[in-house]
Chains A and B, each alone.
Chain A
Amino acid sequence: MSPIIELEGLNVEFGHGRRRTTAVAGVSLALSAGECLALVGESGSGKSVTARTLVGLTAPGAAVRAERFLVEGRDAAAFGEREWRRVRGRTVGLVLQDALSALDPLRRVGAEVGEPLLAHRVLPKAEVPGRVEELLRDVGVPEPAGRARQYPHQLSGGLRQRALIASALAAGPRVLVADEPTTALDVTVQAQVLDLLGELKAKGTALLLISHDLAVVARLADRIAVMKDGRIVESGPAERVLGAPEHPYTRVLLAAAPDPDRPAAEAAPADPGTGRLLTARGLVKRYRTPDGGLREAVADVSFGLAPGETLGIVGESGSGKSTTAQLVMGMLAPDAGEVLLDGRPWSALPERLRRPARSAVQLVHQDPLASFDPRFTVRRILAEALAVAGVARGAARRERAVELLAQVGLGEQHLERRPHGLSGGQRQRVAIARALATGPRLLVCDEPVSALDVSVQAQVLELLARLRAELGLAMLFISHDLAVVRQVSDRVLVMKDGRAVEYGPAERVFRAPEHPYTRQLLAAVPRLPARSAA
Chain B
Amino acid sequence: MSRFARAALHRLGGAVLVLWGAATLGFLALHLVPGDPVSTLLGGSVTTGSAAVRAEITREFGLDRPLFEQYLTFLGRLLGGDLGRSYQQQQPVSLIIGEQLGPTAELALTAFGLILLFALVSAVTTAGRRRAVRGAASGAELLAISTPPFWLGVLLLTLFSFHLRLFPVAGAEGWESLVLPAVTLAVPFGSLLSQVLREGLESALHEPFALTARSRGIGPLALRGRHALRHALVPAVTLGGWLVGGLLGGTVLVETVFARPGLGRVALDAVTGHDLPVVIGLILLSAAVYLVVNTVVDGLYLLIDPRLRGAGPVREVAA
Contacts and interface: CB of A to CB of B under 8 A. Distances in A.
Is this pair of chains taken from one and the same complex? Answer: yes
Contacts of A93: 215-216
Minimum-distance CB pairs A-B, first 5? A94-B215, A290-B311, A88-B217, A89-B216, A89-B217
Contact of A167 (B207, B216, B219, B317): B216
A103 B219 CA distance: 17
A333 B312 CA distance: 23
B317 A96 contact: no
Interface in A77-110: 85-90, 92-94, 96-98, 101-107
A101 B217 contact: no
9 contacts: A57-B214, A85-B218, A85-B219, A88-B215, A92-B215, A101-B208, A171-B216, A289-B314, A332-B316
Interface stretch (A6-14, A114-122, A239-247, A520-528): A114-122
Interface string A166-183: 011011000000000000
A281 interface: no
Contact of B306 (A94, A103, A120, A151): A151
B231 A106 contact: yes
Nearest to B220: A81
Contact of B213 (A104, A151, A291): A104
Given A104-B227, A335-B318, A119 B216 contact: yes
B317 A294 contact: yes
A291 B3 contact: yes
Contacts of B315: 287-288
Chain A CB count within 10 A is highest, among B208, B217, B227, B318, for B217
Given A106-B304, A291-B3, A98 B208 contact: yes
A354 interface: no
Nearest to B318: A333
Contacts of A292: 3
A106 B208 contact: no
A105 B217 contact: no
B217 A120 contact: yes
A88 B314 contact: no
Interface string A108-135: 0000000110011000000000000000
A489 B212 CA distance: 41
Given A105-B307, A106-B306, A295 B314 contact: yes
Interface in A275-298: 286-292, 294-295
Interface string B81-93: 0000000000000
Contacts of B216: 88-89, 93, 115-116, 119, 167-168, 170-171
A164 B230 contact: no
Contacts of B174: none
B312 A290 contact: yes
B133 to A, nearest CB: 15
B151 interface: no
B208 A171 contact: no
Given A105-B307, A119-B222, A290-B314, A57 B215 contact: yes
A61 to B, nearest CB: 11
Nearest to A54: B215
Contacts of B231: 106
Contacts of A92: 215
B211 interface: yes
Interface centre among A55, A104, A107, A289 (most CB of B within 10 A): A104
B230 to A, nearest CB: 5
A153 interface: yes
A116 B213 CA distance: 8
Contacts of A55: 215
Interface string B196-230: 00000000000111011111111100100011001
A274 interface: no
A154 interface: yes
Given A101-B208, A290-B314, A151 B215 contact: no
Nearest to A334: B318
Nearest to B230: A106
A455 B23 CA distance: 66
Contacts of A120: 217
Interface residues on A, range: 35 or more
A90 B211 CA distance: 15
Interface of B: 3, 207-209, 211-219, 222, 226-227, 230-231, 304-307, 310-318
A288 B314 CA distance: 6
B209 A105 contact: yes
A98 B316 CA distance: 27
A501 B135 CA distance: 60
Given A97-B208, A106-B305, 7 more contacts: A85-B219, A88-B215, A103-B212, A106-B306, A119-B222, A288-B315, A288-B317
Contacts of A98: 208
Given A104-B227, A106-B304, A288-B315, A119 B212 contact: no
A107 B207 CA distance: 14
A287 B212 contact: no
Contact of A287 (B209, B215, B311, B314): B314
A286 to B, nearest CB: 5
B301 to A, nearest CB: 11
A62 B209 CA distance: 20
Contact of A154 (B209, B215, B310, B316): B310
Contact of B212 (A164, A289, A291): A164
A88 B218 CA distance: 8
Given A85-B218, A103-B209, A171-B216, A287 B316 contact: yes
Contacts of A164: 212
Contact of A90 (B208, B217, B226, B305): B217
Contacts of A106: 227, 230-231, 304-306
B305 A171 contact: no
Nearest to B228: A104
A295 B311 CA distance: 14
Contact of B217 (A85, A154, A287, A295): A85
Nearest to A106: B230
Contacts of B227: 104, 106-107
B217 A86 contact: yes
Contact of A291 (B230, B305, B311, B318): B311
Given A119-B222, A290-B312, A87 B3 contact: no
A57 B214 CA distance: 8
A164 B212 CA distance: 9
A105 B231 CA distance: 9
Contacts of A287: 314-317
B208 A96 contact: yes
B307 A102 contact: no
Interface string A14-57: 00000000000000000000000000000000000000100101
